[in-house]
Structure 1
Amino acid sequence: MLLLNAKEVHALARPEELVPVMEEAARLYEAGDFIMPDRMGVPQGENTYLYMPCFTPSVHGTKFLALFPQNPGRGLARIQGMMLLGDPETGQTVGLLDGGALTACRTGAVGAVGILHTTPPQASTLALIGAGVQGFHQCLFAARVRPIRTVFVYDPRPGAAAALCRRLEEELGLEAVACAGAAQAVERAEIVVTATASREPVLPDDRELVRGRHFIGIGSYKPFMREFPRAVFQEVREVLVDVEFAKEETGDLAVPLEEGWITPGQVRTLGKALSAPLDCSGTTLYKSVGMALFDVLAADHLLRKAQALGAGVSVEW
């Protein structure tokens, strides 16, 4: 069995390689050639444990995550966990990867796929709402699929936006500007990425502000979580999602559908958009809640790459 820790996962996860893998996952989702039981979530107070199995003809795996919202205050990542890969022929465990690092990288790649298919090729400015681990990875992967020059960052936590701006400038060479509010960030950008666990919209309910911008929603993954106000849904012609069950799983779709701000016919999966492109001339919205199919294909790619390069630690099991 091959072990890949967080540092090794990050070193192996090249955006130019992972983005096509996530596109392939979107196509496989449309083809239906996989088994993916419903994601099981076990709440423990404000914390959540998630169990996500998925099986394709060539890859078997399960991701186990622990989501602890208070971890950043402890100097730890909010997401902890591991990804297990098994041999489809024998059931033997062949790989164990750091689950937090895998999630960060594959979600960055999923966001980048959304950007590829919902934004104009020349888009060069990005607003980021939420300066956590995922915020960094959204910028990292976005900068590989669009000529991003400037990132405007807002986070209500004192010092969080400024700290991320320094990291973006030092590690990615991007111009990064900490903003005093979400509106200030959004009004200066073409692409707007939300990466929070908010229960209320993190953007102003202002149609003039959101009109003509391109929104990528990464954070909300439960029915009581929302990042987008009504104004966004009043402006979009259709909404792209990664999976059909996003319509029930996230408040960013469940609430607009229940309130009639959009109709079910306006919601389309990303996999369908790969063969029938979206019109990016107006306001666009891509909402991701994630799925285990992304995880197993990303993990399989990283494991194979590690084997070819002699990376990781091999142990007898």
Structure 2
Amino acid sequence: MTETLFLESSDVDGLATPAEFVDAVRDAYRQRGEGAPAEPRTKLGNADPPGFLTTYAAILPDTGAMGGYMYTAGFGAEDAWFTTPIFDSESGEPLALLDGASMNPFKTGATGAVAADELAREDASSAAIIGSGAQARGQLRALATVRDLETVWVYSPTKEHREEFAGEMDRRLDGSVAAVASATAAIEGADIVVTATNASEPVFDGDALEEGTHVTAMGQYNPEKRELDAATIERAKYVPDLRDRAFQDAGSFLHALDEGVVDEDHVHAELGDVVAGNAPGRESDEEITVFDSGGTGIETVAGAYLLYEKATEAGLGETIDFAPGSQALTGE
């Protein structure tokens, strides 16, 4: 038997800071750039009841961990359930099983922050956030660890939601956070634009982006999801989390391909290649950059292992026993 740590959401909620997630995720993408294995998501859909099952995984040799997400959404519960197993990358033994829902905005936000650190201008001090949910909160909190944000404008279609978000973040961050009445108003003059939505149509006009803007789009994990228009993709240096994912489920990029405004060579590099120094990030103050974040096992394993280490130090969670295959199959 092998003792494995089981961590509930209440065990890991608030256990690590946004900056700690950013550091862990940055190192994970560095490992990916140096050859660590990772694959895009697999997604199995179900018609009745409607729902889907998703998995993705990665191995992080330097971290010493591997694993990923398996989660469901929809079905009879009409909700989402996130499980995160992590294993020792040398022995293969299970280390922990996490209820992964509460870490989701933080590990995803950390990925956006790592990309912004590589692709946004060094002097970037203003941001636009399109969206006002948990993912938008995670993106902004992580972004504030890599750039000194003086001004943030937030837009979402529901006035109450954007104002609540702005008030909460204004109290939490050093800079000023204010709600605005349109996406156009939000992106005007913004050095960094973050889209954290479930939109199926573009949320702003790409022709309105100013030169030098960096865009992080994190709601494009389905060919039908399309936060960015073809103009944004065409104008930008385009960096996805995983190259293969860009051609599998990155909705905005796939639409731009279909419209003929870009070709396959428009993918500049994976984020890991930029972090590892294999490909340049931003090369001028004038270029527009886009990071397309659809979710990978890279940040998932990095975030989960960070929480596992901190929970172990704090004595949190409970142990459960896993029988190795040799024992379970023979009964010995």
TM range (shorter): 0.7 to 0.9
Partner of 1:98: 99
Q: What are the ranges of 5 or more consecutive residues in structure 2 without an aligned counterpart?
A: 322-332
Specify whether residues 211 and 89 from structure 1 end up closer, same or farther in structure 2 by C-alpha distance, changes over 3 A only: closer
1:1-80 maps to which residues of 2 (within 5 A)? 1-34=4-37, 36=38, 38-44=40-46, 47-57=51-61, 58-68=64-74, 79-80=80-81
C-alpha separation in 1, matches of 2:10 and 2:125: 29
User: How far did residue 181 of structure 1 move?
Assistant: 0.9
Within the candidate set 299, 304, 308, 2:309 is matched to: 304
CA distance in 2, matches of 1:300, 1:209: 37
The whole-number CA distance in structure 2 between the counterparts of 1:94 and 1:31 is: 24
State the distance in 1 between where 2:284 and 2:241 align. 17
Structure 1 residues 37 and 247: alpha-carbon distance in aligned structure 2, compared to 1, 3 A threshold: closer
Measured after TM superposition, the shift of residue 60 of structure 1 is: 3.0
Bigger RCO of structures 1 and 2 (CA < 8 A, at least 6 apart): 2
Q: CA deviation at 1:223?
A: 1.0
Letter in 2 for 1:145: V
Whole-angstrom CA distance in 1 between matches of 2:171 and 2:52: 33
CA displacement, residues 216-251 of structure 1 (integer Å, 9 cap, x when unaligned): 111111111111112213422x21111012321211
* Alignment TM-score, normalising by the size of structure 2: 0.83
Question: Aligned partners of 2:253 and 2:121: how far apart in 1?
Answer: 24
Calculate the TM-score normalised by the size of structure 1.
0.87
**Mean Cα deviation higher: 155-164 or 36-45:** 36-45
1:33-88: CA deviation from partner (whole Å, max 9, x where unpaired):
33x4552212245643212233445323242223459x9xx9xxx75312112345
Of all paired residues, the percent bearing the same amino acid is 28
- Work out whether residues 153 and 177 of structure 1, in 8 Å CA contact, stay in contact via their aligned partners in 2: yes
Alpha-carbon distance, 1:314 to partner: 2.1
| Contact kept in structure 2, 1:65 and 1:100, CA below 8 Å | no
Using the alignment, how far apart are the partners of 1:53 and 1:272 within structure 2? 18
Q: Greater shift after overlay, 51-60 or 20-29?
A: 51-60
Q: Deviations over 1:163-191 (max 9, x none)?
A: 11122123335422111110011114211
Worse-superposed segment, 98-107 or 11-20: 11-20
Matched residues, number = 307
Unaligned runs of 5+ in 1: none
User: Max radius of gyration: which structure?
Assistant: 2
Given residue 244 of structure 1, which amino acid in structure 2 is its aligned partner? Answer: R
Q: CA RMSD in A?
A: 2.5
Q: 1:203 to 1:306 in 2, by over 3 A?
A: same
- The AA in structure 1 aligned to 2:183 is A
Following TM superposition, by how much is the alpha carbon of 1:30 offset from its aligned partner in structure 2, in angstroms? 2.7
CA shift in 2, pair 1:314/1:200, >3 Å: same
Whether the aligned pair in 2 keeps the contact of 1:60 and 1:85 (CA below 8 Å) is: yes
What residue is the counterpart of 1:191 in the other structure?
192
CA distance 1:193–1:38, change in 2 (3 Å) = closer
Letter in 1 for 2:168: R
